[in-house]
Chain A
Amino acid sequence: ELKVEQNPLFLSMQEGKNYTIYCNYSTTSDRLYWYRQDPGKSLESLFVLLSNGAVKQEGRLMASLDTKARLSTLHITAAVHDLSATYFCAVDDLGFGNEKLTFGTGTRLTIIP
């Protein structure tokens, strides 16, 4: 059974600081997704990482994937209040063409002015 673990579960950080959210998973997979969820809202896709060494960046967020270490990171640079949300990673464990995602428990990020 695929296990996906995120840490930290809760993160409170000051504006302007940098931090990293970690996503570890228990089986081989080369497709990993990051989603954002605002309070009371649905999930919004942020990044799709499709191969070892993949790196994607959007604004102050950068995601990377190391399939050998079974680790993905979401790095936040110079945090701003608008980035406050819960971030989920999800791993596809059925391979190409038949997606079935297992989600981490999420990291609730709060940016303090």
Chain B
Amino acid sequence: DAEITQSPRHKITETGRQVTLACHQTWNHNNMFWYRQDLGHGLRLIHYSYGVQDTNKGEVSDGYSVSRSNTEDLPLTLESAASSQTSVYFCASSELQGLQETQYFGPGTRLLVL
């Protein structure tokens, strides 16, 4: 079955370190998204991509970067981790089917920056 996976599922790192979170989907979807979830803020969009070599900044992109070298993967990099980036990170993918474009979410990565 097609799916979307994230790794690692849990990560503890130190301030200033570079961290990369992986996202892999097997639906062959063109659109992929990264969100962070914090109490009181719901989900906020970090970066998104509509296809290979396409990346766009979302609402809270400072301190994060992504690259899209193939359809299946959209890794999220924290260039220099900060305590404010402690959060739960969700990756999602979607594809237009008729008028409907539902996003399918990965299981999430819990990141703690000490």
Which A residues fall within an 8 A CB radius of B?
Answer: 31, 33, 41-45, 48, 50, 88, 90, 92, 96-106
Contact = CB atoms under 8 A, between A and B. Distances in A.
B55 interface: no
B43 A98 contact: no
Contacts of A105: 40-42
Interface of B: 31, 33, 35, 40-45, 48, 50, 58-59, 90, 92, 94, 96, 99-108
Given A42-B105, A97-B96, 7 more contacts: A43-B43, A44-B105, A97-B101, A99-B31, A101-B103, A103-B44, A105-B41
Given A42-B90, A98-B50, A103 B102 contact: no
Given A98-B50, A105-B40, A105-B41, A45 B99 contact: no
A100 B103 CA distance: 10
Contacts of B58: 100
Residue from B42, B100, B108 whose CB has the most chain A CB atoms within 10 Å? B42
Contact of A45 (B35, B43, B90, B103): B103
